[in-house]
Amino acid sequence: MSMAAQEIRIRLSDGEARTLDFGTPEGREVYWHSTSHLMAQAVRELFPEAKLAIGPPIEDGFYYDIDIGRPFAPEDLQWIEKRMKDLARRNLPIEPLALSRAEARALFERHGDKYKLELLDGIPDDPISFYRQGEFVDMCRGPHLGNTGQIKAVKLLSTGGAYWRGDENREQLARIYGVSFPDEQQLADHIHMLEEAKRRDHRKLGRELEIFIQSEDAGQGIPLWLPRGATLRRTLERYIVDLELQLGYEHVYTPPLANVDLYKISGHWDHYRDNMYPVMKIDNEELVLRPMNCPHHIMIYKHGQHSYRDLPVRIAELGLMHRYERSGVLTGLARVRGMVLNDAHIFCIPDQIKAEFITVVEMIQRVYRDLGITEYIYTLSRRDPANKEKFAGDDAIWENAEALIVDALRDLGLAYREDVGGAAFYGPKLDIDVKSAAGKYETLSTIQVDFLLPERFDLAYIGEDNKPHRPVMIHRGVISTLERMTAFLIELHAGAFPLWLAPEQVRVLPIADRHVDYARAVAAALKARDLRVHVDDRNEKIGKKIREAQLMKTPYMLVVGDKEAETRSVAVRHRSDGDLGALPLDAFADRAAAEVSARR
RNA sequence: GCCGACGUAGCUCAGUUGGCAGAGCGGCUGAUUCGUAAUCAGCAGGUCAGGGGUUCAAGUCCCCUCGUCGGCUCCA
């Protein structure tokens, strides 16, 4: 992509002309917004009955929600795209236009534009800002490009359903997604990037690399981990548990079934029931599959008395939980119905919150470094002071907690976004959103301060004054669920996991049958160094064995033949660096073991 | 859950206007013993997602169910 500024000429609703750079978020926003209008114009010409809803720019393109009484077919997109190109080529001026409320209403009524009429009712202005290009007029705040000719390269990407105003009880509209650029090469690069994301799709790689499968018979949203996937998962489990033990967490095991009363006390039964499986009545109990682990950890905290000297108490678990997710949202390992969360609950004195927060953030940074995650942002979710009734606890507690978090973030020197009103009902939180291979940010880690559950479960510690006091809970998840983290890592690394995570680290490839014994000896020596190694002892040519090891993205392939067997060496091939030449077996073992412990 | 598309061998996919279910890879057997991305030959493998219907005849047309994919809504 060209680094030079790409100037685009725009026009504000008052008619003033300005220039923007397509390379900036504002520039792209205007550019794509105008492209969505161009698409609406094309659709209107091809489908005169079409009722337009909304057509905003999004992070990587634009969409327009349109009602033509049926969904769009792929062929429709071709026609629309072609018409858009014609309209762009005609280089129509895009001009602002002020219409009075009455004029706007008359215009929409003439077209039967019921969605626009509804939007109009929500806009207080009079007159109202419109833009016109050729025959086409759309209500819009703007700004827009000065003319359609600046739209050089357009691609309509996909269609889908969308509810009017995002409300599933209202009309279902047809949405068309697209993207556009000032230059054909940029479009080609963008399409290439989309293909690359598809190539990395963890569902595709998960099957090809034998990480997991889905079984129709086992049920929806219940992936089955294959041996190689289980090895990857076990590596993650051991890594995170060891790290947590080092950092002063105590690990526990609690079962995924619970008496529903536990979740009635916690409030989940009221707030979260739609995501829970129904109650199972057995003997005299009503059992549920838990959607979260917190109440179990609270039971463990409550089991004994706690002195202020013992706090913070950090209870951790790789906790199995089940959540009912609507069938349409299930996605490979990324969105499932049964999952294992890297969960912990820190019970502390209020003035320990800041220090605990800092420790958890530092832990997350370290874990990301080890996993190869480099791009992420912090989001502080606060209470909305204008909407206090949605949040539990009094002002002083909230103000104090938010101040502590801000203070901690300042000590850490971290830039962060704020999401006012995004807090959990029980307290403020910090989310860490990680950039995925597809370029989208998703929340993998979270740290939440909770004043409510200690209250509901009547938790206490004994203070210096020999009286009971209420502790604060911090809920924190570092590596998310093992399912989602695995999906994320597959896509991040395109299946080529760093050596320490690779399910199969080394594959030994004997050249002929007479080298199999030596190959097995090599494997045994490497296993003794805790390396995960297999021997490909099939009667196949070396080229084929290499090809298949490459396709499985095996980090190291060791070719062994007469020369190597005689000198107790291995011919090392790396999956991305190629043939590295021969090394003494011990030297290779040292090199690989060092690479594993450095987690490179 | 809603809208749409799709579902053929373990995997990737062909299969004409309805007329005998196919290929490559993989698997098995045999030959071959080979030096950095696919050795050759033979064989086996199917309730065409499941159920119902139309028809002389259904992988193909219609209906229902299940699942997958793309969206919406929601989210670790």
Q: Give residue A1's pLDDT.
A: 44
A516 touches strand B (CB under 7 A): no
Q: What is the largest CA-CA distance in chain A?
A: 94
A551 touches strand B (CB under 7 A): yes
Residue-wise pLDDT tens digits, A51-107:
999 999 988 899 999 998 888 877 788 889 999 999 999 999 998 888 899 889 998
A541 touches strand B (CB under 7 A): yes
Please tell me the distance from the alpha carbon of residue A150 to that of residue A221, in angstroms, as a whole number: 46
A517 touches strand B (CB under 7 A): no
Q: Give residue A12's pLDDT.
A: 81
Residues 342-371 of A with CB under 7 A from strand B: none
Yes or no: say if A533 and A483 are a contact pair by the CB < 8 Å rule. no
Query: Which structural domains are found in chain A, ordered by start?
Result: 7-195 (3.30.980.10), 208-492 (3.30.930.10), 506-598 (3.40.50.800)
Q: Give residue A4's pLDDT.
A: 62
Complex confidence, ipTM: 0.90
Residues 441-470 of A with CB under 7 A from strand B: 443-444, 446
What distance lies between CA A3 and its chain's CA centroid?
29
A163 touches strand B (CB under 7 A): yes
Q: CA–C1' distance A539–B30 (Å)?
A: 13
Residues 187-216 of A with CB under 7 A from strand B: 201, 203, 207, 214, 216
Q: Give residue A172's pLDDT.
A: 85
Q: Which amino acid would we find at residue A75?
A: E
Residue-wise pLDDT tens digits, A473-486:
999 999 999 999 99
Low-confidence ranges of chain A (pLDDT < 50): 1-2
Residue-wise pLDDT tens digits, A284-309:
899 999 999 999 999 999 998 999 99
Other beta carbons within 10 Å of A207: 15
Among A267, A256, A372, A368, residue whose Cα is nearest residue A317: A256
Please tell me the distance from the alpha carbon of residue A198 to that of residue A196, in angstroms, as a whole number: 5
Give the closest residue to B11 (Cα–C1′): A208
Nearest nt to the A514 alpha carbon by C1': B33
Q: Give residue A397's pLDDT.
A: 80
Among A184, A151, A129, A189, residue whose Cα is nearest residue A39: A151
Residue-wise pLDDT tens digits, A184-231:
999 988 888 888 888 889 999 999 999 998 887 888 888 999 999 999
Q: CA–C1' distance A328–B69 (Å)?
A: 10
Buried b (16+ CB within 10 A) or exposed e, A373-409: beebebbbbbbeeeeeeebbbeeebbebbbebbbebb
Pairing of strands A506-510, A556-560: parallel
